[in-house]
Amino acid sequence: MVNTQQTITIPLRPSLWNPKTVSALAVLVALGLAAYQAGLGWPGAELINLGGWPQMREFLAASLRPDLSPEFVALMGRAALVTLAYAVLGTALSVALGLVGGLLSSAVWWQTVIPGQASGLRRSLWLGVRGLLAFPRAIHELIWGLVLLQVLGLNPLVGVLAIAIPFGAIVAKVFSEILDETPPEPLHALLNAGTPPLAAFVYGLLPQALPNLLSYTFYRFECSLRASAVLGIIGAGGLGYEIFLSLQSLRYEQLWTGFYALIVLNGAVDAWSALVRRRMGFTSRLDINRKPGASSRPAHQAPRQDGFLKLSWVGAIAAIPLSWWWLRLDVGVLWSARTQRLLGELLGTGWPPLPSWAELVNLARLSWLTVAMSMVAIALAGLGGILVSLPAAQNFLLPGGLLRPIGQRGESAWVAYTLLGLSRLVLLISRAIPAPIWALVLLYMLFPGVLPGALALALHNFGILGRLMAEVNENLDDRPVRALSTLGASPSAIVAYGILPQNLGRFLAYILYRWEVCLRETVIVGLVGAGGLGRLLTEQISSFDYSGVMITLGVFVVLTFGVDAVSQRLRGVLRE
């Protein structure tokens, strides 16, 4: 007789008290404390400077009448070429350094060259290289520029090296992660067949990792372009220098001419980079929190070999010697007697004395202000980026998109194209203007402190995050969204139940990644008076207190390592 009774086991309901909910609660509490520290919620807090509003109105009115005199436009054209040359040479050198550093700091490299049971030696070498690369990565390129300025003087090499040193360490970190997440099966097959380790690495691992390596190189070039504009603040030349001079002299018409030139330059580079990546089959410029083995290029999509790609590669290669010629670089200055003497004096300052208890308390207070500034900034930038990334994605509002399937009636197509263009223009303007310039503008109508620095960083990072998130939306698996649309779901329900559940993890990973960068950028908004450790650093540099500068930089490096560890831990929780 067959027993028709079956026992059905109902799984236990998962506990609400898990790593994700604990992390979310901790983040919310920290954000609340940071917002309160920024002055939000303080009874009677004086945040808005009403006396600066007339100057702010004059600044905004000048946007309609920029200085378009032939002499000044020619000056801005030459400055734009200087900015572009810094970005080209800085990217080329940082990628070269990053390739070497990425190999030496990847676990798979040491597993390849030191096989067998010597795990302790491999781990020691791996940790040693990663530790050496952590220090230059933690210090912002503007600080590197100030240090190099003391040794090399007003030399174009300052701008190139100030970009290449920290960016080379950043590229090495990302390249090592890409190599470690690349499937190692072809590499192991070649090693087992007796292929030498270096040849097996070159032919078994690098070809698979190449799409992600190239895609990130394009992203780093865009970052170098923004960094070269920031370096103009310390006198390195280029558009940033001209904009800073115009702002200091209150020539708002010339200032807006510089803004428009910077926006056009960033827009042109962004469009060229996106077109090259699309023709090569790369779907994302920055692919983080990727599952091991995943690629930024679909398996069915092969790079197109066309004339535009060939011309782009020839132009990219030719841009390196042309940029060298335009900047008139002379590497011989690195070995000159003057450079050796100034470098010796800088290194001969010795280890600074231990700070007093009062100085430690002040450093701790400013460290918290710096962290609070970065947290408020990245929270505002992330929220704004998520909202604007929806209309900024090509596959959302346009006819045939996720929210407007083919055959569905709605507003005219020109409305969708207008929203797409406006949202992308807002993101472009936001990320093209450097954070220190945003801070100087905000200080017209806000009192110095954490809030203007946080808002300046939020505006700049909002443009970067919004563009990255829009690319995530464009690469969305649209099958769940199409199913919801077929069932008659409203656009808000499609976003809430079909889009955000798929993309929210990637969005949060981008926000955490930019938080690490945002903390480094608190120094540059502090240099223009926005508060935190950057403001203290400005006072120490202006008074030639190099011992104090070393202590402040040491605190900032420790702070950067701490934020980096917290960010990596939270990204690890998102992967679970």
The predicted-structure confidence for 482-533, as pLDDT tens digits, reads as follows 888 778 778 888 888 888 888 888 888 889 888 888 888 888 787 666 667 8
Q: What are phi and psi of 122, to 5 degrees?
A: -60, -45
User: 401 forms bridges with which residues in the sheet?
Assistant: 404
Close Cβ partners of 3 (under 8 Å, ≥ 6 residues apart): none
Give the span between the Cα atoms of 361 and 80, in whole angstroms: 44
Give the span between the Cα atoms of 430 and 263, in whole angstroms: 9
> Can you tell me which residue has the tokens 């959302």?
396
CA distances from 202 to 109, 116, 189, 212, 537 (A): 11, 20, 13, 15, 44
> Can you tell me which residue has the tokens 């929780």?
573
Is 220:175 a contact under the CB 8 Å cutoff? no
pLDDT tens, per residue, the chain with 576 residues:
555 556 666 666 666 777 778 888 888 888 888 888 877 767 666 778 778 788 888 888 998 999 999 999 999 999 999 999 999 999 999 999 999 998 888 888 888 887 766 677 777 888 888 888 888 888 888 888 888 888 888 889 999 999 999 999 999 988 888 888 888 888 888 888 888 888 888 888 888 888 888 888 888 998 899 899 888 888 788 898 898 888 888 898 999 999 999 999 999 998 888 888 888 777 666 655 555 444 444 444 455 557 888 898 899 999 999 999 999 988 888 888 888 888 887 777 667 778 888 888 888 888 888 888 899 999 999 999 999 998 888 887 776 677 776 555 555 677 878 888 899 999 999 998 888 888 888 888 888 778 888 899 999 999 999 998 988 888 887 788 888 877 877 888 888 888 888 888 888 888 988 888 888 888 878 766 666 787 788 778 777 777 888 888 888 888 888 888 888 788 777 766
**Per-residue pLDDT at 152:** 87
* Range list of H helices, 38-66: 53-61
Is 498:484 a contact under the CB 8 Å cutoff? yes
> SS3 sequence, 138-173?
HCCHHHHHHHHHHHHCCCHHHHHHHHHHHHHHHHHH
Q: Where are the beta strands (DSSP E) in 226-302?
A: none
Q: What are phi and psi of 446, to 5 degrees?
A: -125, 150
CB atoms within 10 A of CB 311: 10
Burial of residue 495, with CB atoms counted within 10 A of its CB: 0-12 exposed, 13-18 middle, 19 or more buried: middle
Do 31-64+358-576 and 82-296+305-330 fold alike per CATH? Answer: yes
DSSP 495-551: IIIIIHHHHHHHHHHHHHHHHHHHHHHHHHHHTTT--SHHHHHHHHHHTT-HHHHHH
Give the residue among 210, 396, 207, 425 at the shortest CA–CA distance from 296. 210
pLDDT digits (tens, 9 = 90+) for 330-359: 888 888 888 888 888 777 766 777 888 888
Terminus-to-terminus CA distance in the chain, angstroms?
46
Give the span between the Cα atoms of 491 and 405, in whole angstroms: 11
How many residues make up the chain in this entry? 576
Give the span between the Cα atoms of 497 and 506, in whole angstroms: 16
Burial of residue 115, with CB atoms counted within 10 A of its CB: 0-12 exposed, 13-18 middle, 19 or more buried: exposed
Give the span between the Cα atoms of 110 and 104, in whole angstroms: 7
Give the span between the Cα atoms of 456 and 549, in whole angstroms: 24
**Per-residue pLDDT at 297:** 47
Third-level CATH fold of 31-64+358-576: MetI-like fold (1.10.3720)
Give the span between the Cα atoms of 334 and 363, in whole angstroms: 35
- Tokens representing 275 are 């077109």
Is 238:148 a contact under the CB 8 Å cutoff? no
Burial of residue 305, with CB atoms counted within 10 A of its CB: 0-12 exposed, 13-18 middle, 19 or more buried: exposed
Give the alpha-carbon dihedral of 32, 36, 39, 42, to 10 degrees: 120
**Per-residue pLDDT at 387:** 92
CB atoms within 10 A of CB 42: 11
Close Cβ partners of 472 (under 8 Å, ≥ 6 residues apart): 284, 389, 503, 506, 507, 510
DSSP state of 401: B
Indicate the domain borders of the chain: 31-64+358-576, 82-296+305-330
DSSP 344-398: HHHHTT-SPPPPPHHHHHHHHHHHHHHHHHHHHHHHHHHHHHHHHHHHHSTTTSS
**Per-residue pLDDT at 166:** 92
DSSP 280-318: HT---S---SPPTT--SS-TT------HHHHHHHHHHHH
Is 168:101 a contact under the CB 8 Å cutoff? yes
Is 267:421 a contact under the CB 8 Å cutoff? no
Give the span between the Cα atoms of 184 and 511, in whole angstroms: 29
| pTM of the predicted structure, to 2 decimals | 0.85
The identity of residue 538, as a single letter, is T
Third-level CATH fold of 82-296+305-330: MetI-like fold (1.10.3720)
